[in-house]
Chain A
């Protein structure tokens, strides 16, 4: 069990640029989640997958956010035309099917200048 791996750990970008983050889940986990967390708040749900199927996407997300999980393995989260309000920690987690707990990666900290 190598844990959930996220890349990069930190990303600084200028407003208007596109960014892409990668998450590699624990190998036997078929569920993969993306969350966003800002200072002093709990993780905010963005989207989740079961294998390659995206089961739900938060209504809070604009169309600038997209996530994929080709072949049910790693996942990518892309943010287009970044805004300063996108600055946050982006957390990926994986699990077996409910009611299994989530295991989190170390996160990607995004700073939009």
Chain B
């Protein structure tokens, strides 16, 4: 089992729809969770961080964390073509090492 697993993509949604990206992790003691966006040929950029159970909203983005189920998700409302990118889920292991999932490619069609 991989330490961090994400939906295999690509995920295609129409412009204006909600995109839902999912991630599961294996280490129960993980405490910090992040979503990064990576455009083709660029380095990852942070879009959301979440540390406690529940929802965290920032503009069109909502991160959801359920530690009991070892599950973290990212919702993107009113998806725009500029949101087309690969989304990386990252989880902190004990000691601070950040482990990434394989990424989910999102395509928003105009």
Contact = CB atoms under 8 A, between A and B. Distances in A.
Contacts, number: 58
A29 to B, nearest CB: 12
Interface residues of B, number: 24
B49 interface: yes
Contacts of A56: 95, 97
Nearest to A55: B95
Interface in A61-113: 91, 97-99, 101-107
A42 B43 contact: no
B98 A45 contact: yes
A16 interface: no
Interface size class of A (residues with CB under 8 A): 20 to 34
B101 A33 contact: no
Interface in B26-79: 31-32, 34, 42-46, 49, 51
Contact of B46 (A35, A97, A101): A101
B100 A48 contact: no
B99 interface: yes
Q: What 7 pairs between A and B have smallest CB-CB spacing?
A: A98-B96, A42-B100, A99-B32, A104-B43, A42-B102, A101-B46, A43-B100
Interface of A: 31, 33, 35, 40-45, 48, 50, 55-56, 91, 97-99, 101-107
B46 A103 contact: yes
Contacts of B95: 55-56, 98
